[in-house]
Amino acid sequence: MTLADRWTLFADLWPISLTMVAGSFVAGATPGGGAAVALPVFTKILKIPATDAAHFGLMIQAVGMMMASVMILVKRVPVLPKVIIWTTVGGFYGIVMGTYWMIIPAPFPKILFTFVVTAFGIALIISRWVINLPPQNALPEWSSRRAAQFVLIGFIGGLFASSTGSALDMVTFMVLTLAFGINEKIGTPTSVIIMALNSIIGFFLHAVISQDIGVAWNYWLVAVPIVIIGAPFGAFCASIFKRETIIILLLVLIAGELVTTIWLVPFSAVAIVIATIAALTCAIIFYAMIRYRLRMAR
């Protein structure tokens, strides 16, 4: 900011900095990503185009979540390295495909993601407080088939991330917690590192290859001084929080996601049908994941 003499940007863009106080903490402390906070605030309250908001999400997470990742590694917080590697491989292809070829038209990425995570929130409550199996600290096994599964998970999450700025971290977290019962204190930092790496990929595509960032550069400049502190602080807090605290924080984030989407996003008849089908489909998938976990526990 000093080298570019752009400190005056704060006079007009301070609401973006203020938004990222909460967004950066969420990015480091949960698998939700900073864009989960930024996107609804930017598009509806600040009237920023959805494309610019999505670009900003990837740009700012490339800095903030990477700083959070450094904190995670410095504190030696347990993570799942193989999951990080193979999900990032799939995420790379998903973000590239979603950016240039398999483009999901707005507002469907946001609507789909919202109702998917809402179904996950319900499944997480059932998994934690109804079934209440003890959490696991590692995957039961690793094979080429398992690697392919996480490549596919990364690809799907990357498609959504290319349009919304986040989602890859949450998709990975869903599978880790429901299907494998991974402790949320391990699943969260694992997902943060995955989203950090894939945000760098998305940032590079837009900044270097497409060169279509435009005014989002200014948004990024006024947010960077915030997120380089807020995101690692969120990661630090997550490392000392109890497991239940992380779950409750995530459920609050999911509830906020649902409320803001219903309130702010226009729903056509087609969107309502697609959202309903997505929620029901995911409910079935999440049920299957929990059943799989129960079979492994026997």
Q: What tens digit of pLDDT does each residue of 158-180 get?
A: 988 888 777 889 899 999 999 99
- pLDDT average, residue stretch 253-267: 80
- Binning pLDDT at 50, 70 and 90, where does residue 73 land? very high
Q: Count of domains in the chain? A: 1
Lowest average pLDDT, out of 4-8, 209-213, 237-241, goes to 4-8
Q: For position 54, what pLDDT does the model report?
A: 83
Q: Is residue 3 part of a domain?
A: no
Going 265 to 267 to 268 to 270, the CA torsion angle's sign is: positive
- Binning pLDDT at 50, 70 and 90, where does residue 153 land? very high
Phi, psi (rounded to 5 degrees) for 206 = -80, -35
pLDDT cut 90: percent of the chain above it: 44
Q: Is residue 127 part of a domain?
A: yes
Q: Is residue 4 part of a domain?
A: no
Phi, psi (rounded to 5 degrees) for 110 = -65, -45
Residue, of 250 and 107, whose pLDDT is higher: 250
pLDDT at 4 over 80: no
Q: For position 113, what pLDDT does the model report?
A: 76
Label residue 209 exposed, middle or buried (CB < 10 Å: 0-12, 13-18, 19+): exposed
- Total Cβ atoms within 10 A of residue 88: 23
Q: Is residue 186 part of a domain?
A: yes
Q: Is residue 93 part of a domain?
A: yes
- 3-class state of residue 134 by DSSP: coil
Going 45 to 47 to 52 to 56, the CA torsion angle's sign is: negative
Q: Is residue 202 part of a domain?
A: yes
Q: Which two tokens stand for residue 290?
A: 């929990």
Residue 265's domain comprises 9-297
Lowest average pLDDT, out of 46-55, 105-114, 135-144, 253-262, goes to 105-114
How many residues make up the chain in this entry?
A: 298
Do residues 32 and 171 make contact, with C-beta atoms less than 8 angstroms apart?
no
Q: Which of 3, 45, 58, 34 is nearest to 234 (CA)?
A: 34
Q: Is residue 105 part of a domain?
A: yes
Q: Is residue 90 part of a domain?
A: yes
What global pTM score does this model have? 0.91
Residues 15, 208: Cα–Cα separation, whole Å: 27
Q: Which of 220, 268, 255 is nearest to 48 (CA)?
A: 220
